[in-house]
Structure 1
Amino acid sequence: MLHDFTLYIALVMLILLLVMLAHKIRTAYPVVLVLGGLAISLIPGMPVIHINPELIFVIFLPPLLYEAAWYTSWKEFWRWRRVIGSFAFLIVIATSLVVALVASHLIPGFTLALGFLLGGIVSPPDAVSATAILKHVKVPKRMSSILEGESLLNDASSLIVFRFAFIAVDTGRFVFHEAALSFVWVIAGGILTGLAVGCVFYFLHRKLPTDANTDVVMSLATPYVMYIAAESIHVSGVLAVVSGGLFLSAKSHLFLSHRSRLRGANVWAAFGFVLNGLVFMLIGLELPVIVAGLGDVSLRQAIGYGVLITVVLMVARVLSTLGASAFTVFISRYITTADSRPGWKAPLVFGWAGMRGVVSLAAALSIPVYVTSGAAFPQRNLILFITFVVILLTLVVQGLTLPLVIRWLQLDDPDHFLPEAEQNRIIRQKLSDRSLAWLREHHSDALGSNTALQQLAAKWEQETVPDESEWMQDGYRAVYLQLLAQQRAWLREWNKEVSTDEEVIRKYQLLLDVEEEKMRLRFE
């Protein structure tokens, strides 16, 4: 137990170093972590790490999905619902079908059911990789919104395909009408379970005397309860977490205080970072275990099959996204679509943003060693190896070239959003105008006699004057940041005095941190 704990602490420290390296070379950190884990696994004497699939599905997946759902814009999600739905369900199912046909015809020993099983495993792209890569390049807002929305649903659709294919392999039978009814129940039941659990936690937050700490701890427990509750009644735990997360996020202003939101955002950012880092590092470290289990299949043959399926996935996704664009142009003649002329550039980027990751590995690892009859599960080790090759190649090839593809295409933003700095100025202007008008309308008497309110009104009135020049903004910002640094130094000096309460010093250090964050958000 202590040995395992020490190993994971060492992995966390190694992850931090590799992430800093990724920032240094301006590369998405999932790519660096997978390659780093792969390199470490090849060092002689390194302990062999066996990944328990339940560790991925139960411990890692629920909070990662919940965090993604919490920070997803419902407005953008609903605006692009048709595109997101086609990517997350139709393209995933179509990709699984293509993989099933290719595998059953070109890989010895693969039946159509095993091909569908492999297709369900490798069909869903990994959102974390795409999001990390898109941070280094400028893309239209709609593109990041669609990729985020797709990531919330494609895991569920792929795992549903995987579940039915597994039943077909395990039992040797597949009844379409039974599968169709079960498919509907898995989806609807997962959504309803997530909403039901979300309502329970909403009630607890509203009715119980919680503080920031209890709110944060409850938020950490929420996705696990949603996922376990859904899986216990054999419906989609992924959809339960996604639907419940979207519901609670939309209602968060009603049951979370500003302190709970601020503290929760910091906790979740760190928690999600560690979970993602561990998952991608473990993917690389798992290679020796996977290679050792190949058995009669040579390493060269296994690599060839992995490359074949990877190429099929890349081509199938690009053709699917381009086909979805053409279908949108056709269907827009009859129904209203968010974008009736998507063109070919954005769909090509969507198609190339098809890196695979944690869900694919967890699904492959969850295949049992034996079927229900007691026989060995057919092609299990080869499926594991092919999945690893797909994850590695898509992360490295597509992950490293996606920024180049985006720069080459020179995407225009069809929504024509104002620059972020200009949007900030407009929002501040509107807030100042509305606040000043409200104060004068509702508290005119207090405004005439209260000095503090007069100072507040004067501050808002100053917001209405034209912005200073860039030189004045930069000069003010630099001086003010220097002043904050000096104030921190004074606090550290005063903290050495015996008569000073350290808790008071820490409070003012936090206030300075908040003040600096406000300054950076305003001018950056």
Structure 2
Amino acid sequence: MHTILPFLLAMIAVIVLLNMWANKLKIAYPILLVVAGLLISFIPGLPVVKVNPDLIFMIFLPPLLFEAAWTISFKEMRKWWRIIGSFAFLVVFFTALSVAVVTNYFIPGFTIALGFLLGGIVSPPDAISTGALTKFVKIPKSTSAILEGESLLNDASSLIIFRFALIAVGSGQFIWQEAALSFFWMVIGGAGIGLVVAWLFVQAHKRLPTDAPSDIALTLIEPYFMYWIAEQIHCSGVLAVVSGGLFMSARRLIFLNSASRIKGFSVWESFVFILNGIVFLLIGLELPEIVDGLHADGISLKTAIGYGVLVTGVLILARIISSYTAMISTLIFRPSVAPSRNMTNRKRQMLLLPLMLGWTGMRGVVSLAAALAIPATMDNGLPFPHRNLILFITFVAILLTLVVQGLTLPYFIRRTGVFDAFDNEKTEEETRRKMKQGLKQHVYELLKSKYENELNGHAGMEKFLKQWEEKSKASDDSWMNAKTKALFIEVLESQREYLTELNKDPKINEEIIRQQLYQIDLEEERIKSV
């Protein structure tokens, strides 16, 4: 313990420093973390890192998925559900099938079942890597919503493929009828468990006399409960966390007060940042042990690297093919929502947009966890075939997609200008202007309709009305008595209701609404402290 604790503390310090460096270089911090972990692993005298797969699945995965479900726009997910669903399920299966066919043909002793196992491991793109990357480049909200929605669901679909392939390798047979029933149970049961547990926690937040610290503590344990309960009855824990997170995210204004939302945002932001950093460092630190396993199996490093590059190429090509297929399907069956409909240089943009979408498939946390979850031996006591090679190919796929795609994607986006025609900044600025103007008018009408008699002749009330009418702030808070404070809180709550209704407009970017709601929360806490 005395050896590991300083090592863990040093890891966190390295994560913080590398994140600052990545921001300065304007690249995604997972890239630097993986490379740093790889370099650190060669330092002599460091403790040997042995990653327990249950640690990543149970400790890391639930909160990372839960936080992602809270930040995504569910409205945008509903709008693009067809392409999100196809990428999360059909594309993952197509990628796994492509990997299975290629590895079965090129790698000696690799069966179709082993190929599907490897395909299920490396097929899901990593949401954290894509999110960290896209903050340095301008992409439209539709593309961002597709990437975020896909990342929430493809982890579940890939792990389902992984489980079935693992059974097929271990038993030597695959019964389609049983697999189909198990698949539906994992999907429906996982989503159902997540919704039920989330509803129970919402009731606990609403009915118990909680404060901000206890609310935050509950949110920290909620994803673990959802994941654990679903896994106990052989459902998809990933889908349970995702469905439960989406359910609670849509109701955050109902069961959390402003203090809990503000403080919880900061706690979760730091918590998820540290978890992500540790996992990506562990990916690099794990390589020496994987290489030792290859040597024990008599596989040369050069040969294993070749297999890794081959599989990585299949992953990239399969995703690009899928992106063009999705675009063609959208143009045929849903031309009204085709993202290219307003582009000035239509043909060029239509050709480049799926290519950019296909180039976003960086691999990461889930692929590492799934690869490490392969047992060392099968039920009959024999060593699991090609386990070390699968681990190494997974590492190569993670490293190459992070470094090659991660470093080149921002350059390609800026060089091609594929997203310039969307003119996001102008649209969002206009939306903000109209939203603020609407809020001002809404508040003024509320005050005039409900408190017209009290406003006349009351200095504090008149000053309050003038503030909203002229968009100015009072220089002195001494006028804030209990009555005006209650009125302030009522006005802020009315603004939340107005924004909630405004958010039903499909043309409004939900991220802008959430930013304004956060400002209202800050204003409420300021008023309470006066």
Is this a same-fold pair by TM over 0.5? yes
Q: Provide closer, same or farther for how the CA distance between residues 416 and 32 of structure 1 changes in structure 2, counting only shifts above 3 A.
A: closer
For the residue of structure 2 that corresponds to 1:297, the secondary structure is coil
Partner of 2:300: 298
Q: Per-residue CA shift, 1:111-160, capped at 9, x if unaligned?
A: 00000000000000001111111100111111111111001000000000
Aligned counterparts of 1:337 and 1:247: Cα–Cα separation in 2: 26
Partner of 2:259: 259
Partner of 1:320: 322
For the residue of structure 2 that corresponds to 1:376, the secondary structure is coil
Partner letter of residue 176 of structure 1?
A: W
Partner letter of residue 189 of structure 2?
A: G
Q: Which runs of 5+ in 2 are unaligned?
A: 342-348, 473-518
Partner letter of residue 108 of structure 2?
A: P
Q: Is 1:175 matched with 2:183?
A: no
How big is the shift at 1:249? Answer: 0.7
Partner of 2:243: 243
How big is the shift at 1:319? Answer: 1.0
Within a 5 Å distance, the mapping from 1:104-503 to structure 2 comes to 104-294=104-294, 295=296, 296-332=298-334, 337=337, 339=339, 343-410=350-417, 411-414=419-422, 418-463=426-471
How big is the shift at 1:416? Answer: 6.0
CA contact (8 A) 2:98 2:318 kept: yes
How big is the shift at 1:7? Answer: 1.4
Aligned counterparts of 2:147 and 2:380: Cα–Cα separation in 1: 41
CA contact (8 A) 1:328 1:340 kept: no
Partner letter of residue 471 of structure 2?
A: E
Q: Please say which of residues 444-453 and 112-121 is displaced more in the overlay.
A: 444-453
For the residue of structure 1 that corresponds to 2:306, the secondary structure is helix
- Root mean square deviation, CA, Å: 2.0
For the residue of structure 2 that corresponds to 1:319, the secondary structure is helix
Aligned counterparts of 1:231 and 1:338: Cα–Cα separation in 2: 38
Aligned counterparts of 2:447 and 2:414: Cα–Cα separation in 1: 48
Q: Provide closer, same or farther for how the CA distance between residues 197 and 415 of structure 1 changes in structure 2, counting only shifts above 3 A.
A: farther
Partner of 2:97: 97
Partner letter of residue 265 of structure 1?
A: F
Partner letter of residue 374 of structure 2?
A: I
Partner letter of residue 328 of structure 1?
A: T
Aligned counterparts of 1:222 and 1:398: Cα–Cα separation in 2: 34
Moved over 4 A (4+): 336-342, 413-417
Aligned counterparts of 1:6 and 1:60: Cα–Cα separation in 2: 21
Aligned counterparts of 2:459 and 2:233: Cα–Cα separation in 1: 62
Q: Please say which of residues 268-277 and 345-354 is displaced more in the overlay.
A: 345-354
CA contact (8 A) 1:141 1:413 kept: no
Partner letter of residue 201 of structure 2?
A: F
Partner of 2:509: none
Q: Per-residue CA shift, 1:386-427, capped at 9, x if unaligned?
A: 000000000000000000111122124548674444433322
Q: Provide closer, same or farther for how the CA distance between residues 81 and 293 of structure 1 changes in structure 2, counting only shifts above 3 A.
A: same
Partner of 2:88: 88
* Count of residue correspondences: 468
Aligned counterparts of 2:382 and 2:202: Cα–Cα separation in 1: 47
Aligned counterparts of 1:418 and 1:239: Cα–Cα separation in 2: 36
CA contact (8 A) 2:330 2:338 kept: no
Aligned counterparts of 1:450 and 1:184: Cα–Cα separation in 2: 64
How big is the shift at 1:338? Answer: 5.9
Aligned counterparts of 2:92 and 2:421: Cα–Cα separation in 1: 27
CA contact (8 A) 2:331 2:338 kept: no
Q: Provide closer, same or farther for how the CA distance between residues 413 and 210 of structure 1 changes in structure 2, counting only shifts above 3 A.
A: farther
Q: Per-residue CA shift, 1:201-255, capped at 9, x if unaligned?
A: 0111111110111000000000000000000101100000000000011111111
How big is the shift at 1:2? Answer: 3.1
Aligned counterparts of 2:127 and 2:468: Cα–Cα separation in 1: 41
Q: Per-residue CA shift, 1:67-123, capped at 9, x if unaligned?
A: 000111111010010010001100000000000000011011100000000000000
How big is the shift at 1:282? Answer: 0.7
Aligned counterparts of 1:133 and 1:2: Cα–Cα separation in 2: 36
Q: Please say which of residues 402-411 and 104-113 is displaced more in the overlay.
A: 402-411
Q: Which runs of 5+ in 1 are unaligned?
A: 465-510, 519-524
Query: Could you tell me the TM-score, scaled by structure 2's length?
Result: 0.85
Query: Could you tell me the TM-score, scaled by structure 1's length?
Result: 0.86
CA contact (8 A) 2:4 2:47 kept: no
Partner of 1:52: 52
How big is the shift at 1:337? Answer: 4.9
Partner of 1:476: none
Partner letter of residue 116 of structure 2?
A: F
Partner of 2:73: 73
Aligned counterparts of 1:267 and 1:26: Cα–Cα separation in 2: 25
CA contact (8 A) 1:143 1:346 kept: no
Aligned counterparts of 2:47 and 2:138: Cα–Cα separation in 1: 41
